Amino acid sequence: MEKYKLLEKDNKIILKNIENFHPKHIFECGQAFRWYKEEDGSYTTISYGRVLNVKKEGKDVILYPTNKEEFEKIWMHYFDLERDYSSIKKELSKDPILKEAIGFGDGIRVLNQEPFEIVISFIISANNQIPRIKKSIETISLNYGKKIDTKLKGKDYYSFPSPKELADAELEEFNKITKVGFRGKRVLATSKIIEKGELELQAIFHMNRDDGKEALMTLPGVGPKVSDCILLFAFDKDEAFPVDVWVKRVMEYFYLKEDTNVKHIGEHGKRIFGSLAGFAQQYLFYYAREKGIGK
């Protein structure tokens, strides 16, 4: 459990003196696509059909608009606040490379995001770049999601569509609007499978990583890397170690010292970081991408 004092006032939740929580690190470390950086340095995110602005002020984090009931129901788990990141960081810092990466992204927390949204987002992430992925997901939400009641900073926000809303989409139109290219067919086919209940996403919460991976990989567009991202970002599988270009580069640069295939890198990550591999991966991904390691 993360330590903080909770205050509620004026539609705000204040997490006083909270450690291991930096909005920039959380939202910009690669795990999430639906956030906007505001002029005042805060971040606005859309998740679970709600809009939330997250601001760091000194040692406090301010969440707005929300209340205690909603915080306890949704945001506490979304921000993974049941977990104590100091002990994770202490353990991983025994490795000098991780110590450096953690020093750089010390406020990272691995979010618990919505399964369907993450499945679709990471299908779109294949051979893609984060700014483009963000743009496509924003366009998908605007065109296929529902308008959210909350208006913030003069703007309207839309929820990520449900499986039904995407299953009903027409492929040609979807591709034209969202510009996801060859991924569009996979997105709609996967949405149909989930909508029909042919794969029950909730069941994956009760599976181990290997079984969850096998189940997810039956979906069109979900391969080994995409499935590891989904397991880590939506299904709380801490030991998942997705190896994308950045993780490949950083692992080769610091650990393996030679060109290595991604399967072997994944196994190596699991071996050295064990049950904390997913966290190690996130500190490394952020560090490598921001610093351009191994490019």
Smallest distance from the beta carbon of 114 to ligand 8HG, in angstroms?
A: 16
Residue with smallest beta-carbon separation from ligand 8HG = 30
Is 13 or 222 the residue whose CB approaches ligand 8HG more closely? 222
**Positive/negative CA dihedral, 81, 86, 92, 97:** positive
Contacts to ligand 8HG by CB under 6 A:
30-31, 125, 128-130, 229, 242, 244, 247, 281, 285
* Spatial separation of the C-alpha atoms in residues 192 and 168, rounded to whole Å: 8
The answer to whether the beta carbons of residues 246 and 127 sit under 8 Å apart is: no
Smallest distance from the beta carbon of 130 to ligand 8HG, in angstroms?
A: 5
**Positive/negative CA dihedral, 100, 101, 107, 112:** negative
The answer to whether the beta carbons of residues 62 and 2 sit under 8 Å apart is: no
- Quote the radius of gyration of the chain (alpha carbons, Å): 19
User: Of the listed 56, 225, 237, 248, which one is catalytic?
Assistant: 225
Is 30 or 161 the residue whose CB approaches ligand 8HG more closely? 30
- Bridge partners of residue 60, in order along the sequence: 57
Is 225 designated active site?
A: yes
> What b/e sequence results for 116-140 when a residue is b if at least 16 CB atoms lie within 10 Å of its CB, and e otherwise?
bbbbbbbbbbbeeeeeebbebbbeb
**What is the DSSP code string of 175-210?**
HHHH--TTHHHHHHHHHHHHHTTSS-GGGGGGS-HH
Helix axes 171-178, 183-195, angle to 10 degrees: 120
Smallest distance from the beta carbon of 32 to ligand 8HG, in angstroms?
A: 9
- Bridge partners of residue 43, in order along the sequence: 37, 54
Is 71 or 237 the residue whose CB approaches ligand 8HG more closely? 237
Coil/strand/helix, residue 35: strand
Is 128 or 150 the residue whose CB approaches ligand 8HG more closely? 128
Q: How far is CA 163 from the centre of its chain?
A: 19
Smallest distance from the beta carbon of 198 to ligand 8HG, in angstroms?
A: 25
Smallest distance from the beta carbon of 60 to ligand 8HG, in angstroms?
A: 26
Is 126 or 177 the residue whose CB approaches ligand 8HG more closely? 126
* Phi, psi of 288, rounded to the nearest 5 degrees: -65, -45
Smallest distance from the beta carbon of 125 to ligand 8HG, in angstroms?
A: 4
Residue 283, CA distances (Å) to 183, 220, 265 in order: 28, 29, 16
Is 89 or 165 the residue whose CB approaches ligand 8HG more closely? 89
Catalytic center residues: 225
